[in-house]
Amino acid sequence: MPPSNTGPVYFPIAEEMVGPIRPVLLLLLGAVICLLLIACKNLTNLMLARSAARRVHLLHKWLTESILLTTGGGLTGMPGIPVTFPGCTAYPLTYGRWASP
Protein backbone atom coordinates (compact mmCIF):
# COMPACT_ATOMS: atom_id res chain seq x y z
CA MET A 1 0.00 0.00 0.00
CA PRO A 2 1.63 3.36 -1.00
CA PRO A 3 2.05 6.12 1.62
CA SER A 4 -0.62 8.76 1.60
CA ASN A 5 0.18 12.47 1.35
CA THR A 6 -2.52 13.54 3.75
CA GLY A 7 -0.34 13.99 6.90
CA PRO A 8 1.91 16.90 7.87
CA VAL A 9 5.41 17.14 6.51
CA TYR A 10 8.14 17.97 9.05
CA PHE A 11 11.40 19.76 8.22
CA PRO A 12 14.19 20.48 10.66
CA ILE A 13 13.93 24.11 11.73
CA ALA A 14 17.70 24.64 11.37
CA GLU A 15 17.56 23.76 7.68
CA GLU A 16 14.49 25.91 7.23
CA MET A 17 16.09 29.00 8.80
CA VAL A 18 19.67 28.65 7.63
CA GLY A 19 19.25 27.06 4.26
CA PRO A 20 21.95 27.88 1.72
CA ILE A 21 23.89 30.40 3.87
CA ARG A 22 25.19 27.73 6.26
CA PRO A 23 28.84 27.94 5.01
CA VAL A 24 28.85 31.73 5.44
CA LEU A 25 27.50 31.39 8.99
CA LEU A 26 30.15 28.79 9.83
CA LEU A 27 32.85 31.14 8.51
CA LEU A 28 31.42 33.97 10.64
CA LEU A 29 31.40 31.65 13.67
CA GLY A 30 35.07 30.82 13.08
CA ALA A 31 35.94 34.53 12.82
CA VAL A 32 34.10 35.29 16.09
CA ILE A 33 35.91 32.43 17.86
CA CYS A 34 39.28 33.75 16.61
CA LEU A 35 38.39 37.26 17.81
CA LEU A 36 37.43 35.93 21.26
CA LEU A 37 40.68 33.96 21.49
CA ILE A 38 42.68 37.10 20.68
CA ALA A 39 40.76 39.05 23.32
CA CYS A 40 41.41 36.33 25.92
CA LYS A 41 45.12 36.34 25.04
CA ASN A 42 45.32 40.12 25.44
CA LEU A 43 43.52 40.00 28.78
CA THR A 44 45.86 37.25 29.98
CA ASN A 45 48.92 39.30 28.99
CA LEU A 46 47.58 42.37 30.79
CA MET A 47 46.88 40.38 33.94
CA LEU A 48 50.34 38.79 33.77
CA ALA A 49 52.03 42.18 33.43
CA ARG A 50 50.09 43.57 36.39
CA SER A 51 50.94 40.47 38.41
CA ALA A 52 54.65 40.83 37.63
CA ALA A 53 54.62 44.47 38.75
CA ARG A 54 52.75 43.53 41.91
CA ARG A 55 55.17 40.68 42.56
CA VAL A 56 58.17 43.04 42.46
CA HIS A 57 56.41 45.38 44.88
CA LEU A 58 55.59 42.48 47.21
CA LEU A 59 59.19 41.24 47.01
CA HIS A 60 60.48 44.64 48.12
CA LYS A 61 58.00 44.71 51.00
CA TRP A 62 58.92 41.17 52.04
CA LEU A 63 62.67 41.86 51.96
CA THR A 64 62.30 45.07 53.96
CA GLU A 65 60.11 43.37 56.53
CA SER A 66 62.41 40.38 56.94
CA ILE A 67 65.53 42.54 57.27
CA LEU A 68 63.86 44.74 59.90
CA LEU A 69 62.57 41.73 61.85
CA THR A 70 65.90 39.90 61.87
CA THR A 71 67.85 43.02 62.81
CA GLY A 72 65.37 43.91 65.54
CA GLY A 73 65.32 40.38 66.88
CA GLY A 74 69.09 40.14 66.92
CA LEU A 75 69.53 43.47 68.66
CA THR A 76 66.82 42.66 71.17
CA GLY A 77 68.28 39.24 71.93
CA MET A 78 71.94 40.25 72.37
CA PRO A 79 71.60 41.73 75.87
CA GLY A 80 70.00 38.48 77.02
CA ILE A 81 72.92 36.27 75.95
CA PRO A 82 74.94 36.59 79.20
CA VAL A 83 71.83 35.82 81.26
CA THR A 84 70.66 32.93 79.13
CA PHE A 85 74.06 31.36 78.41
CA PRO A 86 76.38 32.23 81.30
CA GLY A 87 78.97 29.74 80.04
CA CYS A 88 79.63 31.88 76.99
CA THR A 89 80.95 34.79 79.03
CA ALA A 90 82.43 32.90 82.02
CA TYR A 91 85.61 31.83 80.22
CA PRO A 92 87.40 34.56 78.28
CA LEU A 93 89.02 33.60 75.02
CA THR A 94 92.73 33.11 75.74
CA TYR A 95 93.90 31.32 72.63
CA GLY A 96 93.61 31.55 68.88
CA ARG A 97 93.40 34.43 66.55
CA TRP A 98 91.11 36.62 68.68
CA ALA A 99 93.11 36.26 71.90
CA SER A 100 94.44 39.38 73.56
CA PRO A 101 98.26 39.71 73.64
Q: Which residue has the higher pLDDT, 6 or 39?
A: 39
Cα distance between residue 53 and residue 60, in whole Å:
11
Secondary structure (3-state) at 1: coil
Q: Give per-residue pLDDT as tens, 25-80.
A: 999 999 999 999 999 999 999 998 888 888 888 888 989 999 999 999 888 888 87
